[in-house]
Amino acid sequence: MRAIDQILTRMSSKKTFVCCGLDPDLSKLPFEIQIQKISDEEKVLNFLKVVVDITAPHVCVYKAQKAFFDKLSGGHDILKELIYYVHNMHPGLMVIIDCKIGDIDNTMSAYIETIFGKLNADGVVANPYMGNDTIIPLADLREKAIVVLAKTSNVSGSIVQDVILQDGLPLWKYILNLIVNYWNYNFNMIPVVSSTSAMNMLEVRSIIPDSIPILLAGVGAQGGSYSDFGKLLNSNGAGVFVNSSRGILYPASQYFWQIGIEEAVIELKDSLNKERRGK
């Protein structure tokens, strides 16, 4: 089954719209893990395996931020092992790698070989700024989920994304139209929109067909709200998922961190379902 279909199936079967970010920050790991006499790679892998086991019943997909793994000398192997663990211990759950790739053809071939060939990921986040050279090689990967930046949640993104073009459209909306109507010929695209900017979410959803899921970014530690979540739902009351990384992984209490992680993911899941019912 295609990665996007797997994500949509999880939304329906598990009644969840939560994407759990797997961003291993050594400085934020629970104290009991930090003091263990093992390598940093083992600490990260052990921690994330527990996170996956706790959150798996409550999420529709995982998103692993590659930068945190790249800080470790053995991070590449740890990420590969983590993806293998998710696939084998929790069948049906997909792992998207967030590294915002975007380059020319030969470099994209190298990225694709690493991310999908060696790491066996189910999807990737891409930056479309370099156009077809970046996105067409990914669009051709029908079975994979290709998450493409349209409107991001970082504060300074607006200096590029909100530039008004000659036809009056902001750049981000032009990119969104490319994602939906030009690059999505294999129906494997997922646009990213921001929860931290004042956007007309009903208008955004009207541009995006029911069959295309949306990643709502910036909820939680980045200050975004899911109050407009319901406006992004498709006609089936689904089709959008919300990523949370720090908000789930690093609860305030270090003594009962497993309970804190479980409470955080369930709270977000329940809150999104409440917004959905209130649509």
Q: What domains are there in the chain, each with its CATH number?
A: 3-277 (3.20.20.70)
| Residues 147, 98: Cα–Cα separation, whole Å | 9
Q: Is 100 tagged catalytic?
A: yes
Q: How far apart are the first and last CA of the chain?
A: 30
What are the CB-based long-range contacts (under 8 Å, 24+) for 44-50? 44/69, 44/72, 44/75, 44/78, 45/78, 45/81, 45/82, 48/22, 48/24, 48/82, 49/82, 49/85, 50/258, 50/261
Catalytic-role residue among 43, 63, 100, 269? 100
Query: How far is 144 from 141, CA to CA, in rounded Å?
Result: 6
Per-residue pLDDT of the chain in tens (279 residues, 90 and over written 9): 899 999 999 999 999 999 999 999 999 999 999 999 999 999 999 999 999 999 999 999 999 999 999 999 999 999 999 999 999 999 999 999 999 999 999 999 999 999 999 999 999 999 999 999 999 999 999 999 999 999 987 778 889 888 999 999 999 999 999 999 999 999 999 999 976 566 778 888 889 999 999 999 866 555 445 677 888 898 888 899 999 999 999 988 767 999 999 999 999 999 999 888 765
- In this predicted structure, what is the pLDDT of residue 221? 52
